[in-house]
Structure 1
Amino acid sequence: MGCKLNSPNTPILFKFATKRSKLGGKSINFSPTSCLNNQNQETPTKIPKSNISTVHFKSLTACKLGISRFPDFRYNAEGGTGTGSVKIHDDNSSSSRLLVSFDVGTLYIPPLTTQTTKFLGLPLPPFLKIDILPEFFQGSINQESGKVELEFESKFIFSIGSLYKAPPLLVKTVLSSEESRGIIRSGKGERLDDKGKCRLVGVATVDPIDDLFLNSFLSLPTECIANLNAIITFS
């Protein structure tokens, strides 16, 4: 291929070879449009931030919950769901954050029951139940790095059939894909992968409530830890 470059005011002339070049016995046709076609074949791997408006949350199996110095509960949270709104937070860097706010009216996290939870390898007693009632769930997600930081506030209500129902325990924490550390409890999460899977960990202080039995049994005030396996996606 011949090429001649002149001044900006002079037309640029291109001359393309019309003969076939032989390499290793094979004929090769040179096309002036082949490079342009290759450059245009790009497939996006992520939803453009400008098109994102909704965030979806699903809790999965293989979760853990722990309080005080008791061994962790093995908790199957599969079936938990929630949706929320998304805003783009442009911090003048290449990795803009997504600000998410979940609607607690759509947020459901399965209770701890004999069907969902094991303690020391055994299911919880049939009538023991711990309801989880979220009141606040919002924060930031970085699509590029996968880092997640979500403020979480919820009531945990212990009950034994119709015989006993304790006042709610209020838990406030930050569920994070990074490390969460308290005085007696700690854990480390996992960032979002390309399928939206992550592990969120949060340590919180639980204050005493107006219930002498539960205060004594749990040694309140104390720390609790949530270790949730989840999927977070956008649309």
Structure 2
Amino acid sequence: MNCKINSLSSPIPCKLCTKKPKLRRRNTILFSISSSGKQQKTISTSTRIENPTSEAYTVSFKTEKGCKLAISRYPDFEYDAEGGMGTGIAAKVTENGPANNDLPVSFDLESLYIPPLTSSTAKFLGLPLPPFLKIEVVPEALHGSINQESGKVDLEFKAKFLFSAGSLYKAPPLLVKTVLTSEETKGTMKSGRGRRLDKEGKCRLVGVATVDPIDDFFMNSFLGIPCVPC
């Protein structure tokens, strides 16, 4: 018995810039976590970079045109993600000898913005999405590593995708977890190949995710979940 598993994949042309501050400073990262109820919890963590064996960096993240979003068995959505942005911090530790070239980075969710898919930003089969359709992307986590020498990028990405059709229909949040990478990634139905950072700080990140069913028959049917015999 085989199962048909849905997947989401997304090539994202983006630009990552690392800037080393001249002075050591205190950095505060705010993580906003939505609970299952109406209340919203905010967790504030502070990182003080004072160790002389650490090198602190500020990292900026920008998304550009030419993105794609692939859902299940359907053709790709053309997606103009220009205007997406975020900032993060990274620290290279050299305490135990020469530092390796992997730069751990964590992005501030308060500054992270990814444009929604609407009639002005997305096309399907060459046509703009209907004006009433909208897919919002609400990031919940973006962190990982950047190799400054090879240009390899791996970022763990977690976000809620919110599908809606005007005021008539709003699906429950669809939770997507994936690793956005500059390398090759493969899923059951989708695959993609990224591109490493160049001298201008530009790269292409790809990710494939298998999502769990939600409490919505229409959306589960549209995405082809749960697994069914075929």
- For this structure pair, what is the TM-score category when the shorter chain's length is used for normalisation? 0.7 to 0.9
C-alpha RMSD over aligned residues? 2.0
Greater percentage in helix: 1
Q: SS of 1:214's equivalent?
A: helix
The corresponding residue for 1:210 is 215
Q: Distance in 2 between matches of 1:217 and 1:160?
A: 14
Q: Which has the larger radius of gyration?
A: 1
Shift of 1:160: 0.6
Residue type at the aligned position of 1:155: K
1:95 and 1:144 in contact (8 A); partners too: no
Work out whether 1:129 is the aligned partner of 2:164: no
Residue type at the aligned position of 1:161: G
Q: SS of 1:206's equivalent?
A: coil
Structure 1 residues without counterparts, runs of 5 or longer:
1-45, 223-235
The 1:221–1:196 alpha-carbon spacing in structure 2 relative to 1, beyond 3 Å, is: farther
With 193-202 and 84-93 compared, the bigger mean Cα shift is at: 84-93
Q: Report how many residues are paired.
A: 177
The 1:153–1:63 alpha-carbon spacing in structure 2 relative to 1, beyond 3 Å, is: same
The corresponding residue for 1:84 is 88
Residue type at the aligned position of 2:61: F
Q: Distance in 1 between matches of 2:146 and 2:97?
A: 16
Match of 1:191 among 196, 221, 227: 196
Shift of 1:88: 1.1
The 1:94–1:106 alpha-carbon spacing in structure 2 relative to 1, beyond 3 Å, is: closer
Match of 2:64 among 60, 66, 80: 60
Q: Deviations over 1:24-56 (max 9, x none)?
A: xxxxxxxxxxxxxxxxxxxxxx96796542100
Shift of 1:101: 0.1
1:89 and 1:96 in contact (8 A); partners too: no
Q: SS of 2:210's equivalent?
A: strand
Q: SS of 2:73's equivalent?
A: coil
Residue type at the aligned position of 1:209: I
Q: Distance in 1 between matches of 2:98 and 2:198?
A: 22
Work out whether 1:109 is the aligned partner of 2:114: yes
Match of 1:98 among 94, 98, 103: 103
Shift of 1:96: 2.2
Residue type at the aligned position of 2:60: H
Q: SS of 2:149's equivalent?
A: coil
2:195 and 2:205 in contact (8 A); partners too: yes
Structure 2 residues without counterparts, runs of 5 or longer:
1-17, 22-53
The corresponding residue for 1:73 is 77
Q: SS of 2:222's equivalent?
A: helix
TM-score in terms of structure 2 length: 0.73
